[in-house]
């Protein structure tokens, strides 16, 4: 049933999606008033689980402990006083090794992020979908045009490119991928939990597959104390794109966790294949 309704998303995606958005950062008051079928929260969860499975990086937010006293942390001698309660967000490597909706991290205990976790902080992981291919037509700004370097830079950034980075350096590539405001992203809220040592070998294999350089700081390495942890997801906030065509709001954690591999493998995200249209919701069943 669920897969079927996902497939019907494709038809919704075909139907007139190139017009400017009417509701950008919220859903319309009545979902049917936009004239488009907006994906349900469950369908959005399926898309989100695909993003989690395919996206190697994310921003991990923690909070400094209320009683943070600055300089007591050996490797951070110059940590300023008065950070207690401040949020802290930094890029980290993400993997999806358990395939149950709880992202996998390789925690390095001297990192500020994991120090905060150690001090009891909850965490939030933000990830966004970055299409590997550019759309057929881009929404042009009046001052710049897209440069040939963009795709190869992006592919390299995603770890998918070749090393022929000898393109002309006359113009820097555009920093923002396409119409990013209309691309799906999410934030997972919860806490970190150490993963049982018995699965360390399997986790290492999974993690290094996504992050080859991480082999140098796997648990047991001689440089840093490290361990595998999972973000136990308790809440999910989703922005699927413009609100007149995508769901924006909270997704139930039960929905998030009950998505199966078969389901997230059965959908596609904007720009997974060449020839997509920038303002469209080609997400599901368009294989």
Ligand X SMILES: *[C@@H]1O[C@H](CO)[C@@H](O)[C@H](O)[C@H]1NC(C)=O
Q: Which residues bind ligand X (CB under 6 A)?
A: 120-122, 234
Q: What is the DSSP string of 173-209?
A: PPSS-SSGGGS-EEEEEEEEEE--GGGHHHHHHHHHH
Q: What does the block give as tokens for 9?
A: 């998303």
User: Nearer Cβ to ligand X, position 80 or 120?
Assistant: 120
According to DSSP, the residues that pair with 251 across neighbouring strands are: 236
User: What phi, psi does 151 have (nearest 5°)?
Assistant: -65, -45
* Minimum gap (Å) between residue 85 Cβ and ligand X: 10
Calpha distance 100→166 (Å, rounded): 41
| Residue number closest to ligand X, CB atom | 122
Tell me how far apart the alpha carbons of residues 123 and 232 are, in angstroms, rounded to a whole number. 9
Q: Considering the complex, state which of residue 97 and residue 236 has its C-beta at the smaller distance from ligand X.
A: 236
Distance CA 59, CA 151 (A): 23
Comparison of 256 and 264: residue with beta carbon closer to ligand X: 256
Give the shortest CB-229-to-ligand X separation in angstroms.
16
CB of 9 to ligand X, least distance (A): 32
Task: Please report how close the Cβ of residue 65 comes to ligand X at its closest, in angstroms.
Answer: 8
Is 17 or 121 the residue whose CB approaches ligand X more closely?
121
In angstroms, give the least distance from the CB of 213 to ligand X: 32
Of the pair 63, 203, the CB lying nearest ligand X is at 63
Cα-based distances in Å from 158 to 68, 133, 210, 211, 283: 36, 11, 11, 11, 20
């Amino acid at each position: 049933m669920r897969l079927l309704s996902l497939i019907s998303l494709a038809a919704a995606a075909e139907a007139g999606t190139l017009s400017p958005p009417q509701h950008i950062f919220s859903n319309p008051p009545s979902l049917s008033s936009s004239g488009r079928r907006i994906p349900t929260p469950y369908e959005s969860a399926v898309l989100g689980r695909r993003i989690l499975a395919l996206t190697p990086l994310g921003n991990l937010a923690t909070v400094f402990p209320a009683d943070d006293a600055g300089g007591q942390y050996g490797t951070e001698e110059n940590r300023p006083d008065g950070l207690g309660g401040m949020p802290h967000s930094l890029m980290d490597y993400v993997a999806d090794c358990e395939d149950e909706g709880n992202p996998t991290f390789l925690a390095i205990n001297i990192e500020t992020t994991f120090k905060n976790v150690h001090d009891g902080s909850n965490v939030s992981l933000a990830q966004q979908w970055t299409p590997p291919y550019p759309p057929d037509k881009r929404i042009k700004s009046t001052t710049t045009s897209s440069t040939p370097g963009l795709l190869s830079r992006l592919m390299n950034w995603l770890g998918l490119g070749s090393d022929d980075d000898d393109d002309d350096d006359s113009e820097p590539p555009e920093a923002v991928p396409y119409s990013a405001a209309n691309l799906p992203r999410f934030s997972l809220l919860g806490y970190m939990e150490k993963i049982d040592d018995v699965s360390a070998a399997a986790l290492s294999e999974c993690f290094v597959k996504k992050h080859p350089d991480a082999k140098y700081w796997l648990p047991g390495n001689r440089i840093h104390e490290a361990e595998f942890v999972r973000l136990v997801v308790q809440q999910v906030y989703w922005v699927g794109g413009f609100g007149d065509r995508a769901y924006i709001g909270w997704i139930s954690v039960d929905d998030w966790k009950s998505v199966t591999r078969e389901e997230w493998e059965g959908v596609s995200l904007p720009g997974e294949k060449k020839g997509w249209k920038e303002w469209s919701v080609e997400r599901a069943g368009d294989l």
